[in-house]
C-alpha cells in the first residue's frame, strides 16, 4: 500500500505541525486516533470531535473517508479542527 507524506496542523497552535507518512487508505478517524496516541492532540470530550480539512481545497474529510478517496496528495496540509456540538 503506497504511502504519502502529510502535514497535520495543530487545532490551537498552527505553528505546531506533525509530519507523517501514512497509507493512502488511512481514514480521517484513524489519523485522529493516531494523533491522540502520539500526544499531538488530547482525546476529544463527549461534546466535541476532531475533523480534518485539506488547506488547499478547504474540503473537510468525513470520518471514514480515505485520503485517496478525498484526493489528498503527497505533501498536503491537513488542518485539525475541533468541532463541538450541543445546545
Whether 69 shows a pLDDT value over 80: the answer reads yes
Residue 44: the pLDDT is 82
Above pLDDT 90, what percent of the chain? 82
Return the HEC string of 42-63. CCCCCCEEEEEEECCCCCECCC
- For the whole prediction, is pTM greater than 0.95? no
Instruction: For residue 72, give its domain range.
Output: 3-84
| Total domains present in the chain | 1
Please tell me the distance from the alpha carbon of residue 25 to that of residue 67, in angstroms, as a whole number.
Answer: 6
Beta bridge partners of 20: 6
Query: Which CATH number belongs to the domain containing residue 51 in this structure?
Result: 3.10.20.90
Amino acid at each position: 500500500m503506497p504511502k504519502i507524506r502529510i502535514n497535520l496542523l495543530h487545532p490551537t497552535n498552527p505553528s505546531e505541525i506533525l509530519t507523517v507518512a501514512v497509507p493512502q487508505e488511512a481514514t480521517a478517524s484513524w489519523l485522529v486516533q493516531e494523533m491522540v496516541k502520539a500526544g499531538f492532540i488530547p482525546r476529544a470530550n463527549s461534546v466535541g470531535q476532531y475533523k480534518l480539512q485539506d488547506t488547499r481545497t478547504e474540503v473537510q474529510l468525513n470520518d471514514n473517508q480515505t485520503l485517496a478517496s478525498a484526493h489528498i496528495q503527497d505533501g498536503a496540509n491537513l488542518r485539525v479542527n475541533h468541532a463541538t456540538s450541543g445546545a
